[in-house]
Structure 1
Amino acid sequence: MDDGDEYVPVLIAGGSLVGLSASVFLGRLGIQHRVVERHAALSTHPRGRRNNMRTMELFRTAALEPEIRNAAGSLSHNRGILRVDTLHGEHREWLQTPISGRPPEADQCSTVRCDCSQSELEPVLLQGTRDLGGDVRFSTELVSFSQDSHGVDAVVRSADSGETRTVRADYLLAADGPRSPVRERLGIRQSGAGDLFHRVSITFRSRKLREVVGEERFILCYITDPSGEGLLQPVDNKEQWVFQLPWSPERGQTVEHLTDAQCAGHIRAAAGVRDLDVEITGKAPWRASERLADSYRDGRVFLIGDSAHEMPPTGAFGANTGIQDAHNLVWKIAAVLRGWAGHRLLDSYESERRPVAQATSAQAILRAPGEERSGYTARTSAGNSIFPMTVALGYRYVSAAVVGADAGAPTIPDRLLLSADPGTRAPHMWVTRNGAAVSTIDLYERSFVLFCGRPDWREAARTAAGRLNVPLDGYLIGSGAAYDLDTGGGPHWSTVHGTTPDGAVLVRPDGFVAWRTDSGPTGGAEELTGVLRRILGR
């Protein structure tokens, strides 16, 4: 039974990590939306946990960082990837050495990475979006949809009541996972190596395992002995653990036939302790795959997260890429809905994010030999493995929403050099604003930002913003109380941003450099107005 049409500007199909992140970002921008999730509640099964420094910058700007770090408290001191024959054995080798002290990204970012399991992160995001007025509906499935040039008509069904409703939305975001029904209904194909290997994620309790592991606080531990092969992950560093067990559904193996006794026996073999206490609490099959949607958009429907791309777990890039998809898209949708951007701006979502996913997935493949992951023989990748911080921070965009981007530069460079080149994430600087210390990264969310060292550039920004009715904050940046942003004794802003003291740098709401000039502001208002028109598709 259809109880009539409802309207919401943005409808999100899928209420897991990426869908909830999109909801938070929309809520921060004041855009009304609804999330529909077919499951009755969030998953409690521990899954991917590495939130890289770029993702944590986005959560910091969204005012969720303290809650996320609190949720991740039990793993806050875990570092590195270990490989052993058995946990009780003598062979121990660090594949990624634990880093102590100041993390390498500290000079480049407003914050640092955080290991927070998805099962702990999602409740923080859910509460965060609800605090912002987000409408998240569990046990609600997107049944079908159609679209026209003005919007999307989506039929949703409540699993509790069986009732259906038609929701009219300006845009539909598909965050409905790797087997995305939305992508399938659109007929969007995928390319890539496909399935690489399968695992069963087993959650279990064991108090004695802590004694076997010893004092080491790893993030991952590979066990190589054939009788106990797999991957161990701590959950609370005390008695809760996850073991990734190899399995082969192509040979007829099923999770239903994998008994608790078999799982416990495998874990005991991995530990090298026959009488280890093991209580199995859950099993969840998953696959490592490499797939990329041929298109990220069909009219007013957009793919984000796993519906757009799947990538292997090495490097922990997949979920981070999905969260950053959502962040890239949301400000553009908000700009169009608010009337200060044209619909052409939305074309830049695919042209910016799809190359990043493709390059990032290739890096995940290249990193596999370093962790001796099995199952990666489906494709041999050419190229060099790049430092993960460069993958996380160094990617660049080439699109109509960037003026002056180097179209010949690689999507991910070999080394990290953030110097405000158009299309790159703007550099981080600590500054003082209104007596408080902030990162320049903290300024990017609801408006464009223009950095300049001359008052007439700031005035040009005000003029251009008024002409176009575009949110644009012009900041005079330099050393001393006379500036809007005081750099104190730090490096000169123009050196950090690759321009001259007379120049200016325009940064988009997502923190990516939209345009840069070395010249002074003669005719600055007209030039800036023209640049904004190009970027915003007006």
Structure 2
Amino acid sequence: MAAARVNRQTVPCGSDCHERASEVETAMTVESAERVPVLIVGGAYTGLSTALGLASRGVPPMLVERRATTSTLPKAWGLNSRTHELLSTIPGVAAALHDAQKDVRLPLVKSGPTVRDARAADVPEDLLARYRMLTAAPACWLPQATIERILRGRAEELGADLRFGTELVSWTQDADGVTAVVRATGDGREYRVHADYLVAADGYTSPIRTSLGIGVEGGGRIGHVYVITFEADLDAYFEEGRFCVTGLPGSGMSVIHDSMGTRTLWVDYFPEQGQSEADFTEDLCRDRVRRAVGDPGLECRIVNARPFTLNHQLAERFRAGRVILAGDAAHACPPVGGQGGNLAIQDGYDLAWRLALVLGGQAGEALLDTYQAERRPVVNITLEREVALQAVADGRVLSTFDPSQPIPTPREILGFRYHSPAVRTEPGDDHALQEDPENPTGRPGSRAPHVRLERDGLALSTHDLFGPGFVLLTDAEGTAWADAAANVARYLGITLTAHQIGGRIRDAEGVWRRRYGIEAGGATLVRPDAMIAWRSRTAAAGPERELENALTAILAR
């Protein structure tokens, strides 16, 4: 049955986000409401990873996206080790990424006056070996279009309701949830959706963030590029299946050849100096491609040409009542170092496990506030570094492994630290936002270190033990901890799995206790995002009480 449409205007008034609404009856009707636990607005990396994370935990969200489908253009490339580790906890995702990847070698980085004359840049000989000591995650240089298809497919298989070709028309919130009106772009049908929470994954312009009155910090629009996707026979310059980026110093251009064979030219674009989209005719785009390649007679076809704005912004807060900002809606940075998409996927994952626990009654709502407390400071480090890199990167694409340049490092990607009530910080902690992942401390708030293990003769990583719930790691002397974990899981109604390293699971290199900072009989509690939440360095007289107290605090119960 259709109901009269009600148009409500929400105005921001602090973190409680009280509503002042004026109801206006119109002749238009809206179908009766559907009920979902989470409504996600936006169907790119952020929205898809949030939907996937929720569906994998038995919380079926609804996602609405104005576009008819996922990205058809490459847009961005690659997943860093941290992102790959998180996605690998969801069954089926790592296998799908592996099947789509043709070449897992490090990307080829070249530099020269043209593609024809470019030479490979020096790569530190130990770079890949260093990463292999830090993570079991394979290299992934797939384009965003491919990764989005994988995330979408798996999310739908797990029960997420993904409605492409559907846009948000209006929304309101109160203490009990969010009511939205959405519209199918094909036939114009409108209907209401009631949700416990709304995730704003609606991009850097984020109408939802704007309507909430949440301000942003940062430099705003700090530059522009024109992105030209083209087809041409360049097999003489690129290896099939291997990602390659070619910087052309002094030209304001760079060329990306991705693992799917798609070629993209990035060109500096200056609308503030009078340039416009009208200037980038097909003939001009073809000329730029030929100049970049160094072949004035090159046969090429322009597939797509579009402007791209380089942004630097950080939302002042990530949550307002029942609405949570994620991805570019919460923070945006230039794409030069390739980390914006990774931050977006990580946001989605971090939101999903928190929302699932809160919606399942296993955690208090205050757990959602730890998302901003943890993510915002860590994300800002990456934003500031990407801005610094953008200032020195010719053609606006990273084309160097030079450690003297502000490039992404293992310390940033794997050595970050979180500080919030969802971490049981130890006395004397320096509250640093990073540590050296090659020399991990195992402190609460740090990423659980990768350690090589064996189980039944098969190699695995400590990260293979992590999944949708909490994990307690202890040793062969930690039977009391394992028994306590089973009891506490039952009391609190949560997923908590204990693993004893030293029995069936063998420490292949004899280093796990050192890397996790515990002694014989100690234990470490790892969250669903593979972050260390708490530890007991030694055996405890009351392991059940200690573990229950820690989890009760972490879960805001």
TM-score (norm 2): 0.88
Q: Partner of 2:88: helix, strand, or coil? A: helix
In the other structure, the counterpart of 1:469 is: 493
Partner residue, 2:273:
251
Q: Distance in 2 between matches of 1:211 and 1:434?
A: 47
2:245 equivalent in structure 1:
220
Between the aligned partners of 2:304 and 2:131, the Cα distance in structure 1 is: 36
1:80–1:98 Cα contact (<8 Å) kept:
no
Contact map agreement 2:455 2:506 (CA 8 A) in 1: yes
Indicate yes or no: 2:554 matched with 1:526. Answer: no
Distance in 1 (CA, whole Å) between partners of 2:436 and 2:243 is 28
1:60 alignment partner in structure 2: 88
Q: Which residue is equivalent to 1:117?
A: 143
Say which SS state the counterpart of residue 235 (structure 2) adopts: helix
| Superposition TM-score, scaled by structure 1 size | 0.90
The equivalent residue for 1:535 is 554
Residue 462 of structure 1, CA deviation: 1.9
- Whether contact under 8 Å (1:449, 1:472) holds in the other structure is yes
Q: Which residue of 2 aligns with 1:28?
A: 56
Gaps of 5+ in 1: 377-382
Per-residue Cα deviation, 1:171-200 (whole angstroms, up to 9, x for no partner) = 111111111111111111110011221111
Is the CA contact 2:134–2:438 (under 8 Å) kept in the aligned structure 1? no
Does residue 1:395 correspond to 2:416, yes or no? yes
The alignment status of 1:4 with 2:32, answered yes or no, reads yes
CA distance in 2 between counterparts of 1:440 and 1:260 reads 52
CA distance in 1, matches of 2:449, 2:332: 29
Q: Alpha carbons of 1:470 and 1:70: their partners in 2 closer, same or farther (altered >3 Å)?
A: closer
- % identical aligned pairs: 35
- Cα 1:456–1:415 change in 2 (3 A) is closer
1:136-184 per-position Cα deviation (integer Å, ceiling 9, x unaligned):
1111001111111121111111111211111011111111111111111
Counterpart of 2:389 in 1: which secondary structure? helix
Match of 2:432 among 405, 410, 415: 410
Counting only pairs closer than 5 Å after superposition, residues 473-512 of structure 1 correspond to structure 2 as 473-478=497-502, 480-481=503-504, 485-487=505-507, 489-512=508-531
Distance 1:66 1:463, change over 3 A: closer
CA shift for structure 1 position 374: 6.4
Q: Residue type matched to 2:202 in 1?
A: D
- Tell me the CA shift for residue 363 of structure 1: 2.1
Q: Taking structure 1 as reference, are residues 3 and 434 closer, same or farther at Cα in structure 2, changes over 3 Å only?
A: farther
One-letter code of the match for 2:88? R
Q: Which moved more, 1:272-281 or 1:457-466?
A: 457-466
What CA deviation, in whole Å up to 9, does each residue of 1:282-340 have, x standing for no partner?
11211112110111011111111111111122321111111111111111111111111
The structure-2 alpha-carbon separation of the partners of 1:369 and 1:176, relative to structure 1 and needing over 3 Å to count, comes to closer
The alignment partner of 1:210 has SS state of coil
Q: Distance in 1 between matches of 2:282 and 2:256?
A: 18
Please tell me whether residue 304 in structure 1 is matched to residue 326 in structure 2: yes
Which residue of structure 1 lines up, in the alignment, with residue 353 of structure 2?
331
Aligned partner of 1:211 in structure 2 is 236
Q: Which residue of 2 aligns with 1:169?
A: 195
SS of residue matched to 1:61:
coil
> What one-letter code is carried by the residue in structure 2 that aligns with 1:397?
Y
| 1:170 maps to amino acid | D
Partner of 1:55: helix, strand, or coil? helix
Deviates more, 1:252-261 or 1:166-175: 252-261
Aligned residue runs from structure 1 range 136-155, under 5 A: 136-155=162-181
Q: Distance in 2 between matches of 1:218 and 1:161?
A: 41
Q: Does 1:46 align with 2:96?
A: no
C-alpha distance after superposition, 1:480-528 (max 9, x if no partner)? 44xxx332x4214322211111211111111100001123120111111
- Give the Cα separation in 2 of the matches to 1:45 and 1:107: 34
What code does the residue aligned with 1:11 have? L
- Per-residue deviation, 1:369: 5.9
Specify the code of the residue in structure 1 equivalent to 2:514. Answer: T
CA distances 1:219-255 after superposition (whole Å, capped 9, x unpaired): 21112354xx4110113575x4110122122234332
Letter of the aligned partner of 1:401 in structure 2?
A
Distance change in 2, residues 1:87/1:214 (3 Å): farther
Query: Aligned to 1:502, what secondary structure does the other structure show?
Result: coil
How many Å separate the matches in 2 of 1:225 and 1:486? 54
Cα pair 1:88 1:213 within 8 Å, conserved:
no
Give me the whole-angstrom Cα distance separating, in 1, the residues matched to 2:54 and 2:240.
43
Deviation at 1:532, TM superposition (A): 0.9
Q: CA distance change for structure 1 residues 66 and 206 in 2, over 3 Å: closer, same or farther?
A: same
The residue that corresponds to 1:180 in the other structure is: 206
- Contact preservation (8 Å) 1:196, 1:375: no
Q: Do the aligned partners of residues 370 and 93 (structure 1) sit closer, same or farther apart at CA in structure 2, a change above 3 Å counting?
A: farther
SS of residue paired to 1:116: strand
456 and 93 in structure 1: CA distance in 2 versus 1, 3 angstrom threshold: closer
Mean CA deviation greater in 273-282 or 242-251: 242-251
- Name the SS of the counterpart of 2:236 in structure 1: helix
Aligned to 1:319: 341
For residues 484 and 239 of structure 2, the distance between their equivalents in structure 1, rounded to whole angstroms, comes to: 62
Task: Compute the displacement of 1:44 (Å).
Answer: 1.0
Distance across 2 between alignment mates of 1:486 and 1:158: 54
Secondary structure of 1:275's counterpart equals: coil
Q: Give 5+ residue unaligned stretches, structure 2.
A: 1-28, 399-403
Question: How many Å apart are 1:110 and its aligned residue?
Answer: 2.5
Q: 1:348 to 1:237 in 2, by over 3 A?
A: closer
- Alignment match, 1:455: 479
Letter in 1 for 2:506: D
Q: Distance in 2 between matches of 1:274 and 1:214?
A: 22
- Deviation, structure 1 residue 256: 3.6
User: What's the offset of the Cα at 1:450?
Assistant: 1.1
Runs of 4+ in structure 1 off by over 6 angstroms are 98-101
Q: Which one-letter code corresponds to 1:393 in the other structure?
A: L
Cα distance 1:41–1:111, how it changes in 2: closer, same or farther (>3 A)? same
2:448 alignment partner, SS class: coil
CA distance in structure 2 between the aligned counterparts of 1:11 and 1:512, rounded to whole angstroms: 27
Partner of 1:379 in structure 2? none
8 Å Cα contact 1:87/1:213 also seen in 2: no
The answer for the alignment partner of 2:283 in structure 1 is 261
Distance 1:101 1:408 in 2: 29
**Displacement after TM superposition at 1:464 (Å):** 2.0
Report what 1:234 is aligned to: 257
Q: Is the 8 A contact 2:248 2:394 kept in 1?
A: no
Q: CA deviation at 1:98?
A: 7.7
Hey, what's the Cα distance between the residues in 1 that align with 2:69 and 2:239? 36
Cα offset, 1:366, TM superposition? 3.5
Bigger shift: residues 457-466 or 320-329: 457-466
RMSD: 2.5
Aligned-partner Cα distance in 1 for 2:82–2:244: 19
Deviation at 1:455, TM superposition (A): 0.8
Count of residue pairs the alignment pairs up: 520
Q: Give distance in 2, aligned partners of 1:237 and 1:36.
A: 28
Take 1:314 and 1:246, find their aligned partners in 2: how far apart are those partners? 12
Contact 1:86/1:225 (CA < 8 Å) preserved in 2?
no
Cα distance in 2 between the residues matched to 1:144 and 1:56: 35
User: In structure 1, how many angstroms separate the alpha carbons of the residues matched to 2:62 and 2:374?
Assistant: 25
